[in-house]
Each structure stands twice: as C-alpha cells, then as structure tokens.
C-alpha cells in the first residue's frame, strides 16, 4: 500500500517535472503570449492587446529594423517593454524632433539596438535612455491575437511599416571609423 502510494507520488512528480521542462523549452525557444499594457505602441498595439512573441529570431540574431520586439527594461530587469526597432548597430539615428531646426544625430554602438514606441508623443524609449543592448531583447512580436474588446479573435500579422524614420545607413561610416 505504502509502496504503491510512493510509486504514484514519484510518477506524478516525474510527470510534473517533465511537463514543466517542456513548457520551459516552449516558452524559451518557441514563443509566448504577452498582454501588453500602456499607450506607447498605439495605434499598432493598444492597451490590453494579447500578442504572440516568438523567440527563435532573437536566438538566431535575425531581428531586423522595423520589427516590434519585447525587451527587458534596461533599468528594471523584471519589467518588459514593447517597442519597435528603429536602428541596428552602426546606424545613424536622428535624435531631434522633426520641428527642430538643427538636427542632432547619434550612432548606435556595437551590439545595441535603438528602440522607439510608435506613439512618439507618449513613449519613454531610446530617445530618453539611449541605445539598448541586443541581449535584452526577449522576442519578436509576430501576431496580434485578441483585440481590445475581447469580442473576436484577430490574427493580424504585424508587418514592418514602409514609413521607417528616415535614417541614414551609416554602417560603412561606422566600419571605416572602427578600422
């Protein structure tokens, strides 16, 4: 009797560990569902949208300009931010507002990315805290699953917009400066 109880308990623990590990691998290497909050990515992603973020392109270093990514906040590793990648390493980024007469530029350092929210008026992003290390990126948002009203499911693929902020591809400049 006792032996049977013990065997059952051990079997249960084993299955729990096994499925826990499979769940960890799925969340870590395939993707996860994330509830977004906050106004910084409006109108692409509004408050309480559920999005699916896939992890593989981050592990394979396939994040590109224009992708929406979920990253750890550089100032609080327990908090996540959802922003759009505006520049990769070596790109020249315009940091001044469109209305400014004198434009200021900065280069994204090696191994970093420049993140900005789509809602430029209401977003704290790389414009306030500078470039973010690439390794803080957790995943690329590829699907919007539920919209705000929770009334129906939409599987909207979030494509890259064609209206990139006008940026100068300074990679040649960057590599020549390094050499």
Partner 1 sequence: MITLTLDENLLPSDRGRFLMAQQVTAGRRYLRAFVSGFFVAVPVTVTFLDRLAYVARVEGASMQPFLNPEGESKCDVVLLNRWSVRNYQVQRGDIVSVVSPRNPKQKIIKRVIGLEGDFIRTLGYKNRFVRIPDGHFWIEGDHHGHSLDSNSFGPVSVGLLHGRASYIIWPPNRWQRIRASLPLDRGPLDNEED
Using CB under 8 A, list all residues that contact partner 1: 17-18, 20-22, 24-25, 28-29, 61, 72-78, 109-112, 133-136
> Please, what is the minimum distance in Å from the beta carbon of residue 82 to partner 1?
15
Taking the least distance from each CB to partner 1, the nearer of 17 and 97 is: 17
Closest to 71 measured CA to CA, from 9, 105, 15, 117: 117
Q: Which is nearer to partner 1, 72 or 165 (CB)?
A: 72
Nearest distance in Å: CB 155, partner 1: 28
> Would you say 5 or 61 has its CB closer to partner 1?
61
Q: Is 96 a catalytic residue?
A: no
Paired strand residues for 153 = 146
DSSP designation for 107: E
Q: Has 83 been annotated as catalytic?
A: yes
Q: Cα 118 vs. chain centroid, distance in angstroms?
A: 13
Q: Minimum distance between the CB of residue 41 and partner 1, rounded to whole angstroms?
A: 20
Catalytic residue among 57, 83, 92, 126: 83
Q: How far is the CB of 21 from partner 1 (least distance, A)?
A: 4
Nearest residue (CB) to partner 1, 5 versus 60: 60
Checking phi first, is residue 66 left (phi over 0); if not, alpha (psi -120 to 50) or beta? left
CB 119 within 8 A of CB 42: yes
* 160: enclosing H helix or E strand: none
What does DSSP assign to residue 169?
-
8 Å CB contact between 108 and 127: no
Catalytic positions: 40, 83
């Amino acid at each position: 009797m006792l032996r049977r109880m013990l065997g059952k308990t051990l079997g249960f623990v084993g299955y729990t560990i096994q499925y826990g590990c499979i769940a960890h691998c799925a969340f870590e290497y395939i993707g996860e569902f994330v509830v977004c909050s906050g106004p910084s990515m409006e109108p692409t992603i509004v408050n309480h949208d559920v999005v699916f973020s896939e992890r593989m392109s981050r592990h394979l270093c396939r994040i590109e300009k224009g992708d929406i990514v979920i990253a750890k906040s550089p100032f609080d590793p327990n908090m996540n931010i959802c922003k759009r990648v505006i520049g990769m390493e070596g790109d020249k980024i315009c940091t001044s507002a469109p209305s400014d007469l004198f434009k200021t530029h900065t280069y994204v350092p090696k191994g970093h990315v420049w993140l900005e929210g789509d809602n430029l008026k209401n977003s704290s992003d790389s414009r306030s805290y500078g470039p973010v290390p690439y390794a803080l990126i957790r995943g690329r948002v590829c699907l919007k699953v539920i919209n705000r009203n929770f009334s129906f499911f939409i599987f909207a693929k979030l494509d890259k917009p064609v209206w990139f902020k006008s940026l100068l591809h300074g990679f040649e400049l960057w590599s020549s400066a390094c050499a």
